[in-house]
Chains A and B, each alone.
Chain A
Amino acid sequence: MIEVAAIGEALLNVLSPYTLFFLVLGVFIGIIAGILPGINGAIGISLILPFTFGMPPATALIMMLGLWGGQNFGGGVTAALVHAPGAASGAATLFDGYPMAQKGQAGKALGIICISSAIGWFLSTILLAVIALPLAAFALRFSAPEYFAVGVFGLSMVASMATKNIFKGAIATLMGLLIVTIGTDPFSGLPRFTFGRFELMDGINFLIVMIGVFAIAEVLVQAQKPNVQAKVQAFSRELPTWKEVRALLPTIFRSSGIGMLVGTAPGAGGSIAAFIAYNEAKRFSKHPEEFGHGSQEGVAAPEAANNATEGGAMVPLLALGVPGSGAAAVILASMILYGLRPGPQIFTEQPVLVYSLFFGLAIGAVVLLVLGLLLTPYLALVMRIPKPYLITGVTGIAFMAAMAITGLLFDVRLVLFFGVLGYIMRKLDFPPAPMILALVLGFMIETSLRRALIMSDGDWTVFFTRPISAVILCVALLSFFYPMIREVVSRQRAKRRQA
């Protein structure tokens, strides 16, 4: 399956000045986006996506992957300097990053964040290349029932894992699937829920929903908060020494492994990987008492892990067409927009593109290392942008992005509608990410389900008589119902103890 000519072409493609420029730009925008509170990878990628339409798909996707990696690093920078994560993935970094900055070691903390992030990112790319190819080869055996099972598995994992209430996760997911049904029925070509509006005939573009529920909702959340400027710690230019970095390498490698594995599971994002890696680093450390008081291992572990989730999340995305997180969902959406078919067939149909993504990711890690260390002294300045200008700017970019997608004012209004919906969802603790994933996977789920049922003359057992789809669906059901079973068991145990 490995094609040497395609590998060579991909390498030349990634090393071309044009692609390298957009990779560096992507990493740079990602770092800035990560530093700014509330702007996560999904928002950043959604906002730049409409402006990449003129680019070759590989370049655009590499730019987005660069943005994603840069954003993971930027989130840690804010965590260390203002004791608030710029993105959720940086939340675990503040436990020790901020105490380091308070001790006057902000430069060292940022240096460790940068080096750990770059190594985590690089190692996860190797895992991606090693796992994705055989997984895709295996997945080539899939037909409609298996694709339906994979889609349901992706949704069930996301709906049940990173949510405070699994029913809310399920409702958000199903809401996304309902939105997918708006437009033209893919089988009969007849309109569904279009209310006579021609703008709805093609359905609701998932980018419009993404910009609304991520960017506009975040603007509304920030607008509601008082205009308080964050207090940024004084900056020292001192970077970590080689001896210090060498001592951190075991922690970085272990945490990268954790990040890679967690990243491959749909729904388990950078923040979860970061917390696990932080706990493990503390468990393995010779100085666990330093954790929480400015431990260098405590900074390196979550940063290596959260960046390593990127390569991990790309495994199911590329091999199965199932995104593992909000940012991965936007990447998947972008691939569909570029006319690509993410899934196992992409390895045979577009080998150059796939290898370009592998090389782009690997080189992106090096770019992050160089750019991060060079920019370190200036990154604190970004945090001084006053909030009124920041949220107004994001609003402007969001509406501009909406206009760029279809050019219809109707869609600009939809962005506002979904922004308000996203705000309400966040206030009521309904997670927006499952809704977005459902929007992206909805078409595949509906068409696979209907195709499988047509194939089997309406026999639903088709999903359980085929071994691969049966196993995947059982895992999906188990992952969704496990929290409920756990809750019932723990309540019964508590009752028994009381008795």
Chain B
Amino acid sequence: MNRTNVLSGIVCFAIGAFVFWLSADVPSFTATDELGGRFFPRLISVLFMLASLGLIITGWMNIEIQGGQVGGGKGKSVPRDEDERVPDDEPSDALTIGGMRPGTLRLFGFIAVMAVYTMILPLIGYIPASLVVFAALIMIAGEYRPLRVMLGTIGITAVLYLLFAVIFGMNVPTASLF
């Protein structure tokens, strides 16, 4: 059994069922259109659940039906965009913190810092928020030398601000706190 496929199929099926249920609130009939706004989401959510069922069943049977890749040949997959040679994470015996491997920590660190960025942008404005957030991202990504972190942060913030806010005249968030 391919557990990943079965579990992701179950999650997708649940999403499809949820959308189907949610679409009950959308009118099914209007004066201009007999089908109504409910028709298309319902049709797609049913197909979504059928595709999810297909994934669950083939995952359960441990079958992976590949797409008809032109020239790729059976069993050969199209190469992924990323560099396949760099491992996804440090070796399993690498230092772990709280049971999490360094790569996973960096990943969660990035997501958390980006989430903070979207929250502090309207509070402290583009430049201060970017200075704080970019410094944190550079450090999480593996650069710890203070001078380089500082120069990198200022450089990226300055280039983006000059290019987009000054040259392209884009409105960037301003501080509402002060």
Name A residues whose Cβ lies closer than 8 Å to a Cβ of B: 37-38, 40, 51, 54, 83-85, 87-88, 91, 159-171, 174-175, 177-178, 181, 185, 187-188, 190, 192-193, 216, 218-228, 230, 262, 265, 268-269, 271-272, 275-276, 279, 386-389, 391-393, 395-397, 399-400, 403-404, 407, 409, 412-413, 416, 419-420, 423, 426, 428, 430, 446, 449-450, 453-454, 458, 479, 482-484, 486-487, 490
B103 touches A224 (CB 8 A): yes
User: A88, A91, A400, A430 — which one has the most chain B CB atoms within 10 A of its CB?
Assistant: A400
A224 touches B72 (CB 8 A): no
A225 touches B103 (CB 8 A): yes
B40 touches A399 (CB 8 A): no
B86 touches A228 (CB 8 A): yes
Checking A174, A428, A490 against B48 with a beta-carbon cut-off of 8 angstroms, the contacting residue is: A174
B171 touches A407 (CB 8 A): yes
A409 touches B70 (CB 8 A): no
B-side interface residues, number (CB < 8 Å): 89
Known A-B contacts: A216-B114, A224-B89, A387-B141. Give 19 more (CB < 8 A).
A38-B81, A84-B84, A85-B83, A165-B65, A166-B66, A167-B52, A167-B54, A167-B65, A188-B27, A220-B107, A262-B70, A269-B78, A275-B72, A276-B71, A388-B142, A389-B152, A393-B159, A416-B114, A446-B40
Alpha-carbon separation in the docked complex, A446 to B33 (Å): 13
B68 touches A225 (CB 8 A): no
B76-116 vs A, Cβ < 8 Å mask (1 yes, 0 no): 01111111111111100000000000111011011100110
User: A162, A392, A409, A449 — which one has the most chain B CB atoms within 10 A of its CB?
Assistant: A392
B12-35 vs A, Cβ < 8 Å mask (1 yes, 0 no): 100000010011001100101111
Shortest distance between the CB of A282 and any CB in chain B (Å)? 13
Chain A residues positioned under 8 Å from B138 (CB to CB): 388-389, 392
User: Total A-B pairs in contact (CB under 8 Å)?
Assistant: 258
Alpha-carbon separation in the docked complex, A115 to B39 (Å): 52
Name B residues whose Cβ lies closer than 8 Å to a Cβ of A: 4-5, 8-9, 12, 19, 22-23, 26-27, 30, 32-37, 39-41, 44-45, 47-48, 51-52, 54-55, 58, 63-72, 74, 77-90, 102-104, 106-107, 109-111, 114-115, 117-118, 121-122, 130, 134, 137-143, 152, 155-157, 159-160, 164, 168, 170-173
- Pairs across A and B, CB under 8 Å, 30 listed: A38-B83, A83-B85, A88-B79, A161-B68, A161-B70, A165-B58, A166-B66, A167-B55, A175-B48, A177-B40, A178-B41, A181-B41, A220-B107, A223-B140, A226-B86, A226-B89, A226-B102, A227-B141, A269-B78, A272-B70, A388-B152, A389-B152, A389-B156, A392-B138, A395-B137, A416-B111, A420-B111, A428-B8, A458-B35, A487-B65
Chain B residues positioned under 8 Å from A490 (CB to CB): 74
Chain B residues positioned under 8 Å from A262 (CB to CB): 70-71
A279 touches B71 (CB 8 A): yes
B122 touches A409 (CB 8 A): yes
A174-B51, A275-B71 are known contacts. Are A193 and B22 too (CB-CB below 8 A)?
A: yes
Alpha-carbon separation in the docked complex, A85 to B44 (Å): 36
Alpha-carbon separation in the docked complex, A88 to B83 (Å): 9
- What are the 6 A-B residue pairs with the smallest beta carbon separation, nearest first? A227-B142, A185-B37, A388-B141, A276-B71, A388-B143, A167-B55
B67 touches A386 (CB 8 A): no
Alpha-carbon separation in the docked complex, A171 to B37 (Å): 21
A225 touches B87 (CB 8 A): yes
B110 touches A223 (CB 8 A): yes
A163 touches B66 (CB 8 A): yes
A88-B81, A178-B19 are known contacts. Are A272 and B69 too (CB-CB below 8 A)?
A: yes
B5 touches A165 (CB 8 A): yes
Chain A residues positioned under 8 Å from B156 (CB to CB): 389, 392-393, 396
Chain A residues positioned under 8 Å from B122 (CB to CB): 409
